[in-house]
Amino acid sequence: MRKTPKNKVMRKTVVGITVVGKDREGIVAAFTNFAFSKGGNIEKVNQNVVKGLFGMYLEVSFSKSINVNSFDSEIQKLAKKEKMDVSTHHETNSQKNIAVFVTKEPLCLETILKNVKSLKGKLSVIVGTERTLEVIAKKAKIPFVAIEEKNQQKAEDQLIEICKKYNVDLIALARYMRILTPNFVWRYPNRIINIHPSLLPAFPGALAYAQAFERGTKIVGVTSHYVTENLDQGPIIFQDSFKVDPNDTLEKIKSKGQKLEADTLLKAMKMHLENKLEVRWRKVHIKSK
């Protein structure tokens, strides 16, 4: 029986490349030409510029096997030359590493931990904006890191280092109450899942339950979606809802909603980790078996 050489990936290989740094001419060509020189075919490309910050995501496929270590090493040399921060994501990773970002609401985190064995991945780290949920992480024997830095850029610099340290593939925002900037979001395209307490696009932003209660909505729902640089406007993964009784108080609606949030976030994570989701033209499609 023929063995596969070490560090060789069987066809077809798909590599996701993210490039983030100061905007200037020639960056797109530098990395697309690199991909072509390695025999790659560019299947997806997305680029953005916000306030002088450049971000690009390339998805490159290879019909022949490639040496993963060599590819990563060479693209890092190019990154250093071009003064850009570059990371690669290989679909061949057998073990997906998950990071859960939290603030102080416990239910989403508790639901993930309760069902962690059903996820096709490893919960590698829990990151909090404060230490409220640290005790839950310790009980589950999961590393917990608190980033209490108030300056968003400095806080995200720490987040980036943590995600690199744990080789994070998927980030779940389990009622994480800080808005991530493009500098972070662009590094994990379609790999950050958020849960929002309304049926988007209705009631985006904070206080969604209060807005729904004040408007007298008859159905209240929650939405799991991929995170983009635009708040609460990323591709929708899954939605669910419940009927509102006329006698329900705002607190009753919140209680029902928080339980549904946790279940909906968990379902979205499962679908992502089982490679059932594909984003095309800003819409999430369920892959056929």
Residues labelled catalytic = 232
- Given the structure tokens 């490349």, which residue do they identify? 17
Decide: 111 and 119 in contact? Cβ < 8 Å. no
- Name the token pair of 287: 């892959």
Q: How far apart are alpha carbons 58 and 17 in whole angstroms? A: 5
Phi/psi region, residue 132 (left: phi>0; alpha: psi -120 to 50; beta: rest), is alpha
CA 228, 236, 233, 259 torsion: positive or negative? negative
Q: How far apart are alpha carbons 243 and 185 in whole angstroms? A: 34
Decide: 125 and 168 in contact? Cβ < 8 Å. yes
DSSP string over 109-138: HHHHHHTGGGSSSEEEEEEESSSTTHHHHH
**Of 265, 185, 254, the residue nearest 223 (C-alpha):** 265
- Given the structure tokens 């593939």, which residue do they identify? 169
Q: Give me the helices (H) in the chain, please.
A: 27-37, 68-82, 107-114, 134-139, 152-165, 182-185, 208-215, 250-273
